[in-house]
Amino acid sequence: MPRLVAPLLAIALAAVAWAGCGKSSSDETDAPPRAPVGASAKSCEAYAADAGSLRATGIPCDQARLLVYGWRREPSCELPRDASRGSCLTRSYRCQATRGDRGLAVSCARPGQSIAFIARQRDRRD
């Protein structure tokens, strides 16, 4: 009989733990489920000959276009001719650029907002 007590106790503890794993009614809300951040990304017209494929998340398209303009005008965002990637800060956004076949793939973000676009390559004359 004593050998039977330990397994029965383990089974009883497991059953209690398993029963406590469900959702309580206080966890449930009437709020609709939120989509992941990337699901709200939208395509925007860049309205610039030197930028394209503009995508914005958490930011209106007109503000995304202003950020592209700011990135273009920020001297620290220029990539040296021999660099394959770079980073900078413009309009309180952290931006990263990577050189590719189609130009520079640029991604800029700050908490809750991001944009991505392809920029025609512009090289510093170092």
Handedness of CA 67, 104, 117, 87 (dihedral sign): negative
Are the C-beta atoms of residues 51 and 120 closer than 8 Å to each other? yes
The span from the CA of 2 to the CA of 46, in Å, is: 77
Parse the chain into domains and list their residue ranges. 40-119
Phi, psi dihedrals of residue 45, rounded to the nearest 5°: -75, 130
The reported pTM is 0.64
Query: DSSP letters of 4-21?
Result: HHHHHHHHHHHHHHHHTT
The whole-number pLDDT of residue 124 equals 44
- For the stretch 58-98, pLDDT in tens is 999 999 999 999 999 999 999 888 899 999 999 899 999 99
- For the stretch 20-55, pLDDT in tens is 555 544 445 555 555 555 557 889 888 877 888 899
The whole-number pLDDT of residue 116 equals 95
